[in-house]
Structure formats: C-alpha cells, structure tokens
Chain A
C-alpha cells in the first residue's frame, strides 16, 4: 500500500483508504474516489497537483489531498492491454 502521490504518470491502482477527515473523504467519494475503485494516474510531475481518472471522469487533486489517499498499485498490464498505453 502506498500514497497516491507515489505513483508515476500512467500507472493504475485501486483505492485502499481515504483520508480520516470525514469532510474530505466525502468530497472524494462524491467525485468517484471510493475504496475499491480503480484509478489511472494521468499525470504526476512530482510536484503540484495530480490528474487522475476514476469512474470515467478526470479529476485534479491537490498534492496535499492526494498524499492522504492510500492505494494498492496494480501491476503494469501486459502490452496488449490497450488501457496501459503509456502517456
């Protein structure tokens, strides 16, 4: 399990834990980030906010908020899986 901010652009993961703060967790949930959802990191420059895709929607997530979301990284899919095309 690792923080969402540790993932590099193009990687996929499953949401494991949300921040303890109920307010923040609820906002994340309403935007599609529930435990168990699969997400794709569209861009993470190592600084500044992240861009992710989850439940068919693109979200920008402040670095501070993303650091508090734990995820279970998914192994890089085989090259014939079109979903893992490098960005």
Chain B
C-alpha cells in the first residue's frame, strides 16, 4: 500500500462487521498511522477515519461501530445505519469471521438491503482452520453473488485483494447484483401492502422496500420517520403493523434461513468429538471455581508486573521531573518573580509530573486489557464474574475495571469503555473511585499503626473491606433509585481463543495513553496550578493561605466527624491533587519537615497526628480519607470518559456525601464506645 502522489478522486469505503471479527486489525493494517479518532457528531460512539492509497486510488475508510445487526437497538447500530444511508459510501467492506460465519452473515443480510455495494472480507480463516472449520470462499462467493476475499488480517494476508475487490465494485456498481434475502412467503402480502401505502411518498434517501421492511420489523426510528414525513398514510400503516406485531420474528428467521442456504455448500462442518481448543480451555476458564482461580491468577500477574516494572518507572519519571527538571527550570528562571517560578515549577511542572507518572501504569494496564480482549479471555472473565456483579446492577465486564482500581483508579475509569452499554458503564465508572487505590492504601498503611497500635492490621482489613461493602451498597442503591433496577441484560458472545496480534495491542495502548495525556492531562495541570496558588497565597505558610482559611472555615463541619483541627481538613483537601499527598501535607502542617522515605521522621509524624485525635476521630479520619472525592486525575478521567460534567459532578457529590455521612457515623458511634 505505497503512497501515490498524483491526486485522484477519493473513494469512500466503510468497514462494517460484527464484534470479534478483527475489524480494528484490518483498519490499522490498511491505514497505518494515517487515522483520525473522534466521535460521531452528537454521539458518544467513537468514530475512526483513515486514509490510504491503493494502486493510484486515494481511499478514505470509515470504521463503522461493530454491531450484530442494524435494527436500531443501540446507538452504535443507529450510527452505522445512518451513515450507510445518509452518506452513502462508494462501497462497504463487510468483515466476517470464518469461524462463526452463520451468525456473521446475519449482518451481511441486512447490509445487502441498503443501496450500497458490498464486498466480503472472510477474516480469521487461520483461526477457523485451527478449530476444524473450513470455508470455501469461491463457493460462498457464487452463492451470495458478491466478491468474497479470504483474509488473515493479523498477518496482512489478503488485504490488497480485498481493496482491489472493493474498488472493482465501485467502478461497476450496475453489475453488483447479489442474491438478496427475501422475507418468508407468509408476510410478503403485508410487506407489499405497506410498500404500496408508501409508494410515491418516500422520504428522500430511502427506498420504499427498505422502509416497509423496517416498519414490519418494528423499528422505532423508522416508525417515527414515517409518522413525521408521511402522516397521511401513517394511520393505515399503523393498523397493519399492530396486526402483525410478531412479524419481526419471522423476518429474522427468514434471514437465518437465507444464511443457512448460503453457507450450506461453502462450509465444511467441523468434526465434533475431537474437542476444539476453545472447549478445552473453557472447561477450566469458565468453571465456577477454577474460572475464579484463573481470573485471580491473571490479576496477580498484572499487579506483579505493575509493581516491578510500572511503579519503578513511574517513580523514576516523577523524580526526574520534580527533581532534576524542576531545579534546572528554577535556575533558568532565576530573574523571574517568585510567584511566577512557583506557579510554573511547583504548579504546572508538578502537575505535568503527576500526568507523566501515570503513563507507565496506564501502559501496563491498557496492554493487559487489550491482550485479554484480543485473545478472547475478557469475555470469559465477564462470564465468571457475572454471578457476583449482577446484584449490584453491574455487568460481568464491570469486574475488570473495578479490580484495576486497586492499582489506580485512573486506568480503571478509562477501562470502563470495555462495557458496551452506557448505563452499566456509567454505574461502573461511578463506583470505581470507591475501590481503594495504592495512593489511598499508602496513607492508610502510614497512619494506621500510629492510630491503632497492634490492632492496625485489623483496622486495615476493616477499612478496605468497608470500602468494598460501601461500593456494593452504593451500587445496589444507585441501581435501584437511578436506574430503577433495570439491569442491562447479560448477553455476550464468547469468541474463539486465538493468538494475540501485537500491532492491534500496541495501537490500543498508544491511542488510549495518548488520549489521557492530552485530554485529562490538561485538566490535571490546570487544577494542580490552581491548588498550588491556593495553598501558597496569601502569606508565606500554608496556615495563612486560602487553603488554610478554607480548612478553618470547615472546622465546624469537621468537628462533627471529630476532625475539628483545620490541619486535618487541609490534609484531606490536598489529597484531591493526589491521594498520597495527605501525608506530605500533614508533614508540613505538623512541622515534621520533609516526609517520604525518612522512616523515623515519618513515624514521628504519625504519632504527632495521633496525639491530637481520639481513637474515634482517628477512625473517622481514615474512613473519610478512604471515601473522600477521587483525585484530580480520576476526576479528569471520569470527565473524559462520561463526556458529561453532570455525571462528573454527581460522582464528586456522591462521594462527598458518603464520606461525610460515614465520618459522622463512625465518630459519633465510636465516641459512645
């Protein structure tokens, strides 16, 4: 796919396919780096566009969202359908997975009803062969009457031929005459009746046959369109539809009949008995007990890698920035006023350091997500966890982000995008900050021994366990109150296991990490700079600063939780920048100098703090610390993922309320004991 120089008219191709057909692999292989990721206008669905040159043609390719059908059940389906009808690309490349051809051709059956030529990329023929399935592409091509090209996209095999075939159909669209699915005889008269009612009044861009079929299928969008644009015929049409409410079952059944006819000759059925690899792995991976063991082992490996690779790298990056680079910058800015040096070095560069220190952890977590998804294990994980997640109104897939949360809430929030349904995704996102991350655990481990002495391990367990109980309670409650218990159905495809594709994983890691640095990073840097100003002005010590004043202002509120000392409140507020900041702030405010690796000074600090707190207040402080608003990076991630300030604000508010209520309860009850 070498780049041509001469400008020729641009061809527009759309890439369609069900999930698990290797669509991103094909898209990445075709477009390389020349791709743009954004959103479909006004939607929360991701839109990927790319460009490439092929034998002198300039091609723009749009990656449609992966959907199982086009019957307007989800936002993704609506996006795909509206694009195909409204923007009519020159051709559609329909990718199908050779290993689950029957189900995959269902989408093709729907695509063939639209006025756009289609070519089929028969992907993953290698995976199918491993599983004992052989598809005869020429036979399938003859049956369907459209070009079928065999592909192994992960090895870039067949891609040139696929694009050749797509370009060939655009050059002679009149010759495109596929074997289109027809509806079962029983409903043909009804369909004809609706068609005749629509004849001559069809809204622009639509064909009467297609509209009639979609109406009969009970498509709410098409019904709304016809009601608005053809009001004079709507009453008659509506009467017919009411009478044939169950027609959609027949129409879908008819499509599968058609698919069965298409594949009958083309697929050499597998030899059962010789159990395929997927079955053998699944016997363990989906077992109610061993499946959990496998899942925990996978997570353990992930955290070991994070601990030994990502954390040291993160530490090195952040000390490079807060140490060497900051000093260099400070001396370079020698002549500048103090406040400017402060804002730039301590605020902006400090914030940038925070952003960069997340990068190694994000890379590891994103790579793990992409790998597990690519080999097909993610679906099994969701399957194993579904029985435990469903009472919170969560989807089996929610467990992965929540477990990631123990490492860091930021990738956990970003990881919620593996959950397709928005409702389940938002709920998971909302619960993620209740998972205690390493930052919060560090504060806990630092303070608990001084607060509770020998009982510290029990206090630790109680606090972490308590957080998980709160997570469950909040989840159940939000699900009941906000979503009215309308749990999203757990229906998921279990793809066949197959070898991972390094390029696909790498692109996923790169794209998501970069998006975080760019979008969330900006917000983090700005807020860090603002917080620095608030904690440094006016006056020269934190006690005289705006932050100190805010702390004092909230003393009466804090007193309800036994935290009537403004220094404790400021420590909590400073945890907004980064959870582990609480300790550093306490160090400054309680005057024990630099805190960090210096164990002796550290232990002394914890004792000093413990001295001003009753046991009940100490417990309350830790409970609040554990449930207080998430750090700025997590907030930025929530904002980036939910694309809604309302959700972000609601999440912050929820956590504030939970922290306050729990703090008051723990302190008041604790004081009685």
* CB of B490 within 8 Å of the partner chain: yes
Report which of B99, B106, B253, B282 forms a contact with A30, defined as CB distance below 8 A. B106
Q: Which of A9-65 contact B (CB under 8 A)?
A: 18, 22-32, 34-37, 42-43, 45, 47-49, 51, 54-65
Q: With A30-B73, A32-B256, A36-B253 as known contacts, state yes or no: A60 contacts B490, CB within 8 Å.
A: yes
| Bound: A26/B67 CA distance, A | 13
Asked whether, in the complex, the Cβ of B494 is within 8 Å of the Cβ of A51, the reply is: yes
Report which of B218, B386, B489 forms a contact with A22, defined as CB distance below 8 A. B218
Q: With A22-B218, A23-B73, A56-B102 as known contacts, state yes or no: A65 contacts B490, CB within 8 Å.
A: yes
Asked whether, in the complex, the Cβ of A58 is within 8 Å of the Cβ of B73, the reply is: no
Q: With A32-B102, A48-B288, A56-B102 as known contacts, state yes or no: A27 contacts B248, CB within 8 Å.
A: no
* CB of B387 within 8 Å of the partner chain: yes
* CB of A83 within 8 Å of the partner chain: yes
Segment among B53-61, B271-279, B544-552, B633-641 that sits at the interface with chain A: B271-279
Report which of B252, B390, B496 forms a contact with A62, defined as CB distance below 8 A. B390
Asked whether, in the complex, the Cβ of A58 is within 8 Å of the Cβ of B252, the reply is: no
* CB of B365 within 8 Å of the partner chain: no
Q: Which of B233-288 contact A (CB under 8 A)?
A: 248-249, 252-253, 256, 259, 271-273, 275, 278-279, 282-283, 286, 288
Q: How many interface residues does chain B have, given as a range?
A: 35 or more
A66 to chain B, nearest CB (A): 9
Q: Which residue of A lies closest to B383 (CB)?
A: A60
Asked whether, in the complex, the Cβ of A60 is within 8 Å of the Cβ of B386, the reply is: yes
Q: Report chain B residues within 8 Å CB of A82.
A: 271-273
| Bound: A34/B272 CA distance, A | 24
Q: Report chain A residues within 8 Å CB of B248.
A: 22, 25-26, 29
| Bound: A11/B553 CA distance, A | 68
* CB of B514 within 8 Å of the partner chain: no
Q: Report chain B residues within 8 Å CB of A76.
A: none
Task: Tell me the total A-B contact number using a CB cutoff of 8 A.
Answer: 122
Asked whether, in the complex, the Cβ of A85 is within 8 Å of the Cβ of B101, the reply is: no
Q: Which residue of A lies closest to B133 (CB)?
A: A56
| Bound: A22/B275 CA distance, A | 36
What does DSSP make chain A's interface, helix, strand, loop or mixed? mixed
Asked whether, in the complex, the Cβ of A55 is within 8 Å of the Cβ of B102, the reply is: yes
Asked whether, in the complex, the Cβ of A31 is within 8 Å of the Cβ of B491, the reply is: yes
* CB of B396 within 8 Å of the partner chain: yes
Q: Report chain B residues within 8 Å CB of A42.
A: 279, 282
Q: Which of B86-121 contact A (CB under 8 A)?
A: 99-103, 106
Asked whether, in the complex, the Cβ of B494 is within 8 Å of the Cβ of A30, the reply is: no
| Bound: A62/B252 CA distance, A | 22
A-B contact pairs, 9 of them (CB 8 A): A28-B491, A30-B106, A35-B249, A55-B100, A57-B103, A60-B386, A60-B490, A82-B271, A82-B273
6 more A-B residue pairs beyond the given contacts A27-B73, A60-B494, with a C-beta to C-beta distance below 8 A: A29-B69, A43-B282, A49-B386, A55-B102, A55-B256, A59-B492
B: residues with CB less than 8 A from A are 67-69, 71, 73, 99-103, 106, 218, 248-249, 252-253, 256, 259, 271-273, 275, 278-279, 282-283, 286, 288, 379, 382-383, 386-387, 390, 396, 487, 489-496
10 closest A-B pairs (Cβ-Cβ)? A62-B490, A30-B69, A48-B387, A30-B68, A58-B494, A57-B100, A57-B103, A55-B102, A82-B272, A56-B102
A: residues with CB less than 8 A from B are 18, 22-32, 34-37, 42-43, 45, 47-49, 51, 54-65, 82-83, 85, 87
